Amino acid sequence: MQRLPSPYGLLIDRERQIKFSFENKSYQGFAGDSIASALAANNQWLLSRSFKYHRPRGALTMAGQDANTMVQLPSNPNALADKEPLSPGLEVMGQNYSGSLKTDRGALLGLFSRFLPVGFYYKAFFKPRGMWEKWAPLIRKKAGLGVINQQLEPDYYDKQYKFYDVVVVGAGPSGMQAALTAAVDGCEVLLVDENPILGGSLNYSRLDAKGSMAREVRDLLVHDIEANSNITCMTNATVNAWFADNWLPIICQKRLYKVRARQTILCTGALEQQAVFHNNDLPGVMMSSAAQRLIHLYAIRPGKTAVVVTGNDDGYANALDLADAGVEVAAIVDLRDKPRSSPLVRAAKKRGITIKAGYAVYAAQKRGNHLAGVEIRKILSQGICDSQAEKIRCDTVCMAIGYTPTYQLACQAGGQLSYSDKSAMFTLNNLPDGLQIAGSVDSYWELSNCLEEGARAAIIATNALGFTQTDIPEPTAREKHSPNHSWPIFAHPNGKEFVDYDEDLTIADIVNATRDGYEHIQLVKRYSTCGMGPSQGRHSALAAARLVAAATNRTVAETGVTTARPPFAPEHLGHSAGRSFYPARRSNMHYRHIEAGAQMLQAGAWYRPAFYGQATDRDRCIDNEVNNVRNNVGLVDVSTLGGLEVRGPDAAEFLNRFYTFGFVKQPVGRARYALLTNEAGVIIDDGVACRFSEQHYYVTATTGGVDRVYQTMLKWNAQWRLDVDIANVTAAYCGVNIAGPRARQVLARVCTDIDLGAEAFPYMGVRQGTVAGIPARVIRVGFVGELGYEVHVPQQYGEALWDALMEAGGEENIQPFGIEAQRLLRLEKGHIIIGQDTDAMSHPMEVQMGWAVSHKKPFFVGGRTIAELEMKSPTRRLVGFVVNAKNAPIPLESHLVLDGAQMTGRVTSCNHSPTLGKPIGLAYVQPHCAEPGSQIKIKSSGGVMVTADIVTLPFYDSKTLRQEL
Amino acid sequence: MIELTPDKALRRSPLYRRHLQLNAQFEQLGEALVVGAYSDTGMEPRLAISLGLADLSCLPRTGFKGPGAPDWAATQGVEIPSAPNTALAQADGSMVAKLSHQELLIVSGMQGDSGLVDNLNQQIPGTGVYSLPRADSHSWLAVTGLLAAEMFSKICAIDLRTHKFAQGQVAQTSIAKINGIIVRQDLGTTPCFHIFSDIASTEFLWDCLLDAMEEHQGVAIGVAAIRSLDATE
């Protein structure tokens, strides 16, 4: 392991060695290393194979901004080796290769690249017909990158909200200055950076010939930030999107922070771009900033001999850094004819570094899987080089030809990207209120300007927040010299000048896309896949825009770039999925059901007992529960039923308008069936309305429908303005239905202050009293068709009520019954379930519930539509049927009713009735088939046709004597 | 000594099984049992200063709404908060939260004295005043401690930091995806956030809170610790 001496190696802890493996070979690194830096320290530069041609790839940015460093980890694929921190024992493998990373058989594809032109997929699979089936298996095998370990236990991911006055994204010089200025003015500031430490480019770049300024400024800024309690720093954190109202999702380790910023300042910096030349993707060819990161952050020499290709003075700073680190700088190849005489240029000259002005790196040569040298040529005109070539042996090429602003977040916020031909650079404008940009993202490059702009952005933010009322300084004057070269693109007869590393796209691919008719940059993207890889066009957008502009005779500004959608960087599914909440509602009696062996089912968020007993013995358990209710006494938890208090002088009038029945004359102490329709006359819910006083109704609703009923009540009364109060008290009450011929005698043992006699407390009567000493509302209802009492008590008394009734019914051997038995009991009684036996078109007459519609009142919701429907011939009716044929399969819900080959209806409920001893059900049929005695054909499971006889409802106790006992 | 078993009480917190799992020691409060403490080490008051979670669901509370509710309550001696979404401590230690111009939530002090609540419940409300069964529609949990806001930030989108969410402030919001009312009413000098939410979802919320608290070493605490903090100046 070779390292430069301190103070090189800002991020590494030389006292803590870490062992790891790559491709099953052991290596050592230091704490603070990334995988890529540790491998580089061990002279292992080959990291991955490219997506399409399986070309060897190595570090490009050393900033986690490219796909060249994607490796396979045990826990996740496609990890960025230049971002992923080294950890003890980490087992790292390459990915997307056949054979070995070093010798990848897939690289043979590169030999056939001329047969795989842009749009290959579209062209190849378009014809002949059926070719896709042949290609698909092969492509699917080759496609993709890493492999998901499906055996792995998922890690614990979490989410958290944060709130700040100002969020500064990017802790480079502008960001640090912005944070400090805002914090000094009293704002709570969050300073976020994706790197392990504050400083941004000050950590690795060289600003002066001496090479000390960046570190000195950084240390001062960091010192002040650390001393300011108003600033919270979040490092190793990525602001992965900008959403409306400065809602920022920040990913840090295994947590997704959902941050609300009152003001946001983007100091996201700029992304260095590659020069486009033949073989510009070889390991050893890297951004100049990558080389500087290796040197300064990790104390690693990028190579032995380097060539710097540049179009700005940063390349000279880079060359000086290389030279200081002991790298032989063979030449600075400057695309400019006449480099300006800046201190950095003069320093390079003074160091004796060869400068080839007006030259380009035209091609790179390789030995094995690494760069071995370059061919440089004199530039004759834009992208055209002289035929005379000069070869230079080197193992490193550093590219410093310009930048694009890291515009993604700003564009997501609505910022527009323009292109300046003068500076050959994208610029941002039209930013929304509450969002500022500063620094190199705003095309300021000189340190003093970046600091001024950072402070200025903070003043705008603090003024907007009311912390200050300071005069906002004028924007800093634009700099004369742009770091961007206008055309660092050099086509080669043999191609392989990569514009997009992720997708292996070359100059010809981009140009040919326009020639195929896809001239718009968005179409070029989709046709060529340029910018669609993991790095999302970070290093291809500018070059692609230039090439498309030139090929279509437009300006780059007219050509534009593709949309930068979230997320900014790849994120684990765990960040989105982690720590989700799945609310669960339980009645106070819940555990009594569990203790009694109930199989629970979920209805919305509620848990309800389906039946009691082994799941394998389901049908027998349900039959027993039904028989017990029919012949003895059973107890069912009805706590999940909706409960609504409707109170006030206009309570009766309100219900009269809301439900189909009449309620004005409903006597106190009585319950009345309440059917709810919408404006279209469609049934949407039902329940019973219990009148406890002139101005007080307690209305039940279905478990799943109560919230909608409540909202609908509020909505209508917002219009009607009746003097009524509506309260949803569903959870406030626990309820049971004690049902069966012996229900009265059991209830009487624990309910002594209500006369339960048949005359004193008739069917559909309601009373208030106590049950087992608990204040209770008691309702005589007959959903299951037997003598029954619903007992509703305050929620926290529910379990005590259950216990008391089960104890009171011990002599009668009272048994609990579940939802399945209840559904079967009601089916025998011919009662419908809203939502199961009705659909989005069902109106009362169709389901034989015309009796529940009052024709005497002036208005109710849906009344007018129902009146019109009543005048028309019905198109279907819900009827009861029985299957008399023995051994016939039992039809299931949604099985079709057929008339010949024509579908004429469907089954809504069907089950074997233990009481009748045969299958019974409800189905929609054509009106002419609805008369009792008619027969219908039902297409049952497996296509078996079942004949069913239409019968009069109810199936059981046709004179309804039992519930009125 | 009579063994206090919560499954024999007439009124039972939806969490009593959770409390039993944590070896809770119960004490009688009206028809219910409440958790006095989960251990006899006496550490709970100190832990609660950092981060604690208490089940107060069996303590008295009630609610009233309607256009006449605030005026009617005032005639009963209740001091009404001036603005919606604020709460006011009453002289007897109970607390009144104004949830809207027409709606009040009234909860007992930490001793569980039901005087005010009982008194109001026994009155026949005036015109335009309707009682609400808050004692049974909503559970009552209390999160105490200096780390409470930090913990809440994992499950609630409201900024509850004490310099942003003042004493007596009320938020009607979503907590772990269920509706809830959060009232900040400190216990002495210890921040305390009272949560009133759907009683049927109490176990779900309790589990979510404990899970979120684990990172900060938060613990379940009994009413003894709550009262101890409440008594501090």
Nearest CA-CA partner of B35 in B233, B219, B200: B219
Look at residue A136 and tell me whether its pLDDT is greater than 90.
no
Nearest CA in chain A to B65: A725
CATH pick for A874-965 out of 3.30.1370.100, 2.40.30.110, 1.10.357.10, 2.60.120.10: 2.40.30.110
- φ, ψ of residue A940 in degrees (nearest 5): -90, -170
Q: Provide the 3-class DSSP secondary structure of residue A392.
A: strand
CB contact under 8 A, B10 and A587: no
Tell me the per-residue pLDDT of A24-53, one tens digit each, with 9 for 90 and over.
999 999 999 999 999 999 999 999 999 888
Chain A partners within 8 Å of B65 (Cβ): 725, 727
B154 vs A contacts (CB less than 8 Å) = 158-161, 579
Q: Per-residue b/e over B70-106, b at no fewer than 16 CB within 10 Å?
A: bebbeeeebeebeeebbbbebeeebbbbbbeebbbbb
**Residue B2 pLDDT level (bands cut at 50, 70, 90):** low
Token pair listed for B21: 């799992």
CB–CB of A462/A468 below 8 Å?
yes
Q: To probe the interface with A, which of B16, B58, B72, B137 has the most A CB atoms within 10 Å?
A: B137
Matching CATH number, A158-271+405-465, of 3.10.20.340, 1.20.1080.10, 3.90.1010.10, 3.50.50.60: 3.50.50.60
Measure the CA–CA gap between A334 and A344, rounded to whole angstroms. 13
pLDDT for A883-932, tens place per residue?
999 889 999 999 999 999 999 999 999 999 999 999 999 999 999 999 99
Exposed / middle / buried, residue A490 (Cβ in 10 Å: 0-12, 13-18, 19+): buried
Q: Which amino acid is at A55?
A: R
Cα(A298)–Cα(A42) distance, integer angstroms: 12
SS3 per residue for A677-726? ECCCCCEEEEEEEEEEECCEEEEEECCCCHHHHHHHHHHHHHHHCCCCEE
Confirm if A768 and A779 have CB atoms less than 8 A apart. no
Reported as a single tens digit per residue, the pLDDT across A747-786 is: 999 999 999 999 999 999 999 999 999 999 999 987 899 9
Q: Does A498-571 carry CATH code 1.10.3720? A: no
Residue-wise pLDDT for A729-754, tens only, equals 999 999 999 999 999 999 999 999 99
Q: How far is CA A132 from CA A51, A137, A883, B1, in A?
A: 21, 9, 50, 82
B residues 47-106 lying closer than 8 A (beta carbon) to A = 57-58, 65-66
Dig out the tokens for B165 from the structure: 């969410």
In this predicted structure, what is the pLDDT of residue A802?
98
Contact A796 B17 (CB under 8 A): no
Is residue B200 within 8 angstroms of chain A, CB to CB?
yes
Asked if A515 and A479 touch (Cβ cutoff 8 Å), the reply is no
Cβ-based contacts of A774 with chain B (< 8 Å): 10
- Residue A650 half-sphere exposure toward CB, CA atoms < 13 A: 12
- Tell me the CATH class for A274-401+485-496: alpha beta
Q: How far is A260 from chain B (nearest CA, A)?
A: 9
Give me the pLDDT at residue B233, please.
Answer: 65
Q: Which amino acid is at A774?
A: I
Residue A523 identity = L
pLDDT in tens, A556-583: 988 988 888 999 998 888 998 888 899 9
Tokens encoding A258: 């959902």
Q: Does domain A1-100 have CATH number 3.20.20.70?
A: no
A940: Cα separation from own chain's centroid = 41
Query: What is the token pair recorded at A774?
Result: 């608990």
Which part of chain A has CATH 3.10.20.440? 1-100
Closest CA to A792 of A704, A651, A687: A687
> Any chain A CB within 8 A of the CB of B203?
yes
Answer yes or no: is pLDDT of A64 > 70: yes
Distance from CA of B72 to the nearest CA of A (A): 16
Q: Residue A683 carries which side chain, given as an amino acid letter?
A: I
Among candidate residues A824, A771, A827, the one with its CA nearest the CA of residue A802: A771
Confidence (pLDDT) at A1:
60
pLDDT band at A540; cut points 50, 70, 90: very high
Question: For B209, which residue in chain A has the nearest alpha carbon?
Answer: A581
Domains (ranges, CATH) in chain B? 24-42+50-59+136-180+192-230 (3.30.1360.120), 61-133 (3.30.70)
> What are the beta bridge partners of residue A506?
A498
What percent helix, strand, coil does chain B show, rounded to 5? 25, 30, 40
Count of C-beta atoms within a 10 Å radius of residue A954: 18
Length of chain B: 233
Segments in chain B forming alpha helices (H): 16-21, 44-50, 69-75, 115-122, 134-137, 148-152, 202-214, 223-230
User: Does residue B1 surpass a pLDDT of 60?
Assistant: no
Q: Among residues A364, A387, A388, which one has the least CA distance to residue A375? A: A364
**Contact yes or no for A701/A708 (Cβ under 8 A):** no
Is-contact A677 A622, C-beta < 8 A? Answer: no
Both tokens of A207, joined, read 């600003």
pTM of the model: 0.91
Alpha-carbon gap, residue A629 to A785, rounded angstroms:
9
Count each helix (H run) and each strand (E run) in chain B, helices first. Answer: 8, 13
CATH 1.10.10 boundaries in chain A: 498-571
Largest pairwise CA distance in chain B: 52
E strands within A721-851?
A: 725-728, 733-739, 766-771, 774-780, 788-794, 815-816
Contact A729, A713 (CB under 8 A): no
Inter-residue contact A17 to A29 (CB < 8 Å)? yes
Distance CA A69, CA A38 (A): 13
Beta bridge partners of B100: B103
Residue A545 CA to residue A531 CA, distance in Å, equals: 11
pLDDT at A131 over 80: no
* DSSP 8-state code for residue A533: S
C-alpha separations of A206 from A99, A321, A364, A447 in Å: 42, 7, 26, 11
Residues A171, A255 contacting (CB under 8 angstroms): no
Handedness of CA A310, A311, A312, A313 (dihedral sign): positive
Q: Which residue in chain A has the smallest CA separation from B151?
A: A160
pLDDT digits (tens, 9 = 90+) for A139-161: 777 666 788 888 888 888 999 99
Angle between helices A507-515 and A541-551 (to 10 degrees): 40
Place of tokens 């309800």: A608
Minimum CA–CA partner of B31 in chain A:
A797
Q: Please give, rounded to a whole number of angstroms, the shortest distance from the CA of A699 to a CA of chain B.
A: 15
**Alpha carbon distance A935, A883 (integer Å):** 10
Give B24-81 pLDDT, tens digit per residue: 999 999 999 999 999 888 899 999 999 999 999 999 999 999 999 999 999 999 999 9
Q: Do A584 and B204 make contact, defined as CB atoms within 8 angstroms?
A: yes
Amino acid code (one letter) for B62: T
Residue type at A352 in one-letter notation: G
Across A789-817, average pLDDT: 97
DSSP A444-476: --SHHHHHHHHHHHHHHHHHHHTS--PPPPPPP
User: Which residues of A sit within 8 Å Cβ distance of B?
Assistant: 158-163, 258, 260, 579, 581-588, 591, 605-606, 639, 645, 647-648, 723, 725, 727, 729, 731-733, 773-774, 794-800
Can you tell me the distance from the alpha carbon of A457 to that of A452, in angstroms, rounded to the nearest whole number?
Answer: 9
Which residues neighbour A806 within 8 Å (Cβ) at sequence distance 6 or greater? A592, A635, A814, A816
How many residues are given for chain A?
A: 965
Residue B200 has its nearest CB partner, among A725, A731, A797, at: A731
With H, G, I as helix, E, B as strand and everything else as coil, classify residue A670: strand
Residue-level pLDDT at A119:
77
Q: Verify whether the Cβ–Cβ distance A796 to B11 is below 8 Å.
A: yes
ipTM of this predicted complex? Answer: 0.97
Which of A44-58, A106-120, B202-216 bottoms out in mean pLDDT, i.e. has the lowest?
A106-120
pLDDT at residue A239, rounded to an integer: 98
Distance from CA of A79 to the nearest CA of B (A): 27
Structure tokens at A926: 């054509």
